[in-house]
Chain A
Amino acid sequence: MGCPCEQDSNNKPQNFEDRRSFLTKLTFGIGAFIAALLSFPLIIAMLDPITRKKGHKWRKVGDLNDFEIGCMKMVSFENASPYKWSSKIAYSAAYIRRESEHEFTAFSVNCTHLGCPVRWVAKSELFLCPCHGGVYYKDGSRAAGPPPRGLYSYPIRVTNSHVEIETEAIPITTMDS
């Protein structure tokens, strides 16, 4: 029913609506696509230092003779595959204790409470933390203060009369440790 011109004027607003809603969707769609495209490299760049495989390396920290039986000694060593521009920052420290002729223990210097560097007090054979007063015995076990557990240790081995330590991540104490 009705003449073509009437139909035309009825359809026009409908068409406009369709067109507008299509263009709105198109604009938002393109916007989302661009945002996704641009954030991809940003996220990748932020993740780069973490996603990169570093592995662990054995680092020589001294000769067998450098360590007296029953004594604690602090050593420093280069972390695994640091960025070349890190220079001195890429060095970590550890406490090494020679238990017997061939037995060594290497403790991380990081307090298990909040990561501050613990100091070895030789006479009393204790590690003391300057931050919140954590204390550890010479075997690394917790003696006093807020730490939730004993000191972390590094893998250590002796090859050809060299003492070597295996690099590790900075130990992070989690809720369940």
Chain B
Amino acid sequence: MKKRLKKIWKWLDDRGGLSDLMKPLTTHLVPPESKWNYVWGSATLFCLILQVITGITLGFLYQPSADVAYQSLVYIENQAFLGSFIRGLHNWGASAMILLMGIHMIRVYINAAYKYPREMSWITGVFLMAFTIIMAFTGQLLRWDNNGVWSAVVAAEQIGRIPWIGHWLAYFVLGGETIGGETLNRFFALHVFLFPALLFLFVVYHLYLVFKNGISEPPKIGRVVDPKTYRDWYEKMLSKKGVPFFPNAIWRDAVFSAFVLIIIVGLAWFVGATPLTSKPDLASVHANPKPDWYFTWIFALYALMPRQLESYVMFFGPLIAGVFLFSIPFMSNRGERSPLRRPWAVAGIVFVILSIGSLWYVGTKEPWSPRFNAKPLSKYATVPDPSTKVQKGIDLFNTAGCIYCHRIGNHGGIRGPELTDVENRLTRKQMIIRIVNGGNNMPAYGGSLKKEELDEIVSFLIAKDKK
């Protein structure tokens, strides 16, 4: 039996050239110090493979049709065998891919691995990042719940800010002038055919470049990159102390990928995918479109930046960011690689992480959004011994939407200032002026409130011990 198997293998290897195919991989030499800091890229690739497999699995169950896609998702989530687990894997796999890709990129930047001769690795990496982001966005849209359809509108509006052709491009993306049967199919074709194909092409090339130019050695202070001598030096270093990629280096990739998988499986099983919102309905305004966590910081940026700049930022922001990323290896492709000798590079990274981090933090809080679901204030308990006038004021505070933006005690939105003890800050007259005329981001209520209503609200606001 064993002999027979050996014979079959020999035949396969001889005619099929399997060993020859794998040889460059098994004999490829890598710097011996490339250890645990070199697993981020392979883990990102692992996530891509996971996405392909779970994506194909979902493809067997999903109906890419505008009228029934949502129903098929409900089926996957609630009825299909392991359906919600698979959707969870695909969901968390995407999250992990974005996160690991980000860490991989930061790692490469901090260690300046993009310098000579690996500029093209960086450039293809920027392309891969763009494709991955597009995959993430189109993917969350394919949920085709109320959040999904409105995300398509939001995407079209952003594209609309591109000068000259924005208008046209927006309708191109939507597949028509309105959301329709075509819209979902467009995003489906992009998410399932076009961008995966581009991802594969660029991943293969990205990997080929790793083999061609070799894995960058960990930087050392004072060891500068000089394009004239680097390749020779690298070859000599490898032949002196290089170790074969397989298995001396790849085992760490395997271990780390397994670790990533365990976390994704755990999240998929115990937390599950982003819950579906209500079924898609553009004729209902009770939607609250919100992006998945990886876009929350952009969502926050759109709410917080100065209004006059906004349209420009929407167009020039991504443009400048893209041009900047592409130009990094051209701005400095030689010299020091150690982060200890590149303080500005490190400061830049820290700045970017802090900015995105804080935007992300406010994005989860959404202080700019009215809270439509705020619990109405109790007519009787908000103020001790309320008079009829104050009770009417409390009612108005609820129905006129004051509570969507202003907090009293533990209830209400946080868009505007908290009004629990506003009686200590403003006089009755000042409150009236403020409500009637508005100001900053407060709309003017002069036209919509009657004089006695205004009086009632202010009587409530001026009352002490609100809670």
Contact = CB atoms under 8 A, between A and B. Distances in A.
A172 B171 CA distance: 9
Contacts of A50: 168, 171-172, 175-176
Interface in A90-123: 90-93, 109-110, 113-121, 123
Contacts of B310: 113, 146, 148
A153 interface: no
Contacts, number: 213
B161 A121 contact: no
Contacts of B302: 113-114, 132, 146
B368 A132 contact: yes
A79 B171 CA distance: 14
B438 interface: yes
Contacts of B445: 124
Contact of B443 (A113, A117, A126): A126
A93 B284 CA distance: 7
A118 B284 CA distance: 10
B283 interface: yes
Nearest to A116: B289
B401 A146 contact: no
A76 B154 contact: no
Summarize B's interface: helix, strand, loop or mixed: loop
Interface stretch (B4-12, B178-186, B213-221): B178-186
Interface string A122-134: 0111101011110
A117 B399 contact: no
B149 A115 contact: no
Given A123-B448, A173-B161, A86 B307 contact: no
Contacts of A113: 157, 302, 310
Given A123-B401, A124-B445, A148-B310, A82 B181 contact: yes
A31 interface: no
B443 A86 contact: no
Contacts of B177: 54, 79-80, 168-170
Interface string A21-49: 00000000000000000000000001101
Contacts of A173: 157, 160-161, 311
A84 B66 CA distance: 11
B400 interface: yes
Contacts of A130: 287-289, 369-370, 372
B312 A175 contact: yes
A74 interface: yes
A92 B174 CA distance: 14
A46 to B, nearest CB: 8
Interface stretch (A1-9, A12-20, A137-145, A155-163): A137-145
Given A89-B181, A90-B181, A116-B289, A121 B283 contact: no
B156 A133 contact: no
A49 B288 contact: no
Interface in A43-80: 46-47, 49-50, 52, 54, 74, 76, 79-80
Most chain A Cβ neighbours within 10 Å, of B153, B170, B299, B443: B443
Contact of A126 (B166, B369, B448): B448
Contact of A115 (B66, B150, B180, B305): B150
Contacts of A167: 178
Contacts of A120: 285
A119 B372 contact: yes
Interface in B387-444: 396, 399-402, 404, 415, 438, 440-444
The 5 closest A-B pairs by CB, nearest first: A169-B177, A76-B283, A86-B181, A143-B443, A83-B181
Given A46-B186, A85-B67, A170-B179, 14 more contacts: A47-B172, A83-B180, A86-B66, A88-B281, A117-B286, A120-B285, A124-B400, A125-B448, A130-B370, A137-B444, A143-B438, A148-B311, A169-B171, A172-B170
Interface of A: 46-47, 49-50, 52, 54, 74, 76, 79-80, 82-93, 109-110, 113-121, 123-126, 128, 130-133, 135, 137-138, 143-148, 167-170, 172-175
Interface of B: 65-67, 149-150, 153-154, 156-158, 160-163, 166-168, 170-172, 174-184, 186, 280-290, 299, 302-303, 305, 307, 310-312, 315, 368-370, 372, 396, 399-402, 404, 415, 438, 440-445, 447-449
